Amino acid sequence: MKKNPAGRFEIPVTDMDRATMFYETVFEVKLLRNVLGTLEMAWFPQAETDSGSAGSLVLNLNNYKPSQDGILIYFTAQSGDLVNEFGKVKDAGGKILIPKRKISDEIGFMALILDTEGNRIALHSHK
């Protein structure tokens, strides 16, 4: 069986402090901030045994622009029910685009939100 080829993702931001606060609040994680040349990054936690793709927030105004029109990244609700993460979005400065709705019995549920930077992202859970 071949593995999923999706390996990493980068989410463009215009204000690293604001974006870091948003993602840390909604997903209850601690992002690791780094400066790599002209990039400022905040890495999502990733253990070698994690099944999810590694990712980060990226600040580089010349090469990265937040958008709600491009690729859609689904974040798995670590709580088991996306309602928990979804409930923190507005207080963290984000916006609700589509509330929780069923995709299918096999896939589960999703919700669509806008982060503080103007990126459209999705939340996913099986409950």
Calculate the dihedral angle through the C-alpha atoms of 19, 21, 22, 26, rounding to the nearest 10 degrees. Answer: 150
Pick the CATH number of 8-125 from 3.10.180.10, 3.50.50.60, 3.40.50.360, 2.40.110.10: 3.10.180.10
Which pLDDT value is given to residue 8?
87
Which pLDDT value is given to residue 46?
81
Which pLDDT value is given to residue 7?
76
- Return the closest-CA partner of residue 14 out of 62, 55, 52, 80: 62
Which pLDDT value is given to residue 62?
92
Which pLDDT value is given to residue 81?
96
Name the residue ranges covered by the structural domains of the chain: 8-125
Identity (one letter) of the amino acid at 104? Answer: S
45-76 pLDDT, tens digit each: 986 666 667 899 999 999 999 999 999 999 99
d(CA 91, CA 25): 9
Neighbours of 116 (CB within 10 A): 22
Which pLDDT value is given to residue 23?
97
Which pLDDT value is given to residue 51?
66
Strand partners, 102: 109
Which pLDDT value is given to residue 97?
97
- The residue ranges of the chain whose pLDDT is under 70 are 1-4, 47-52
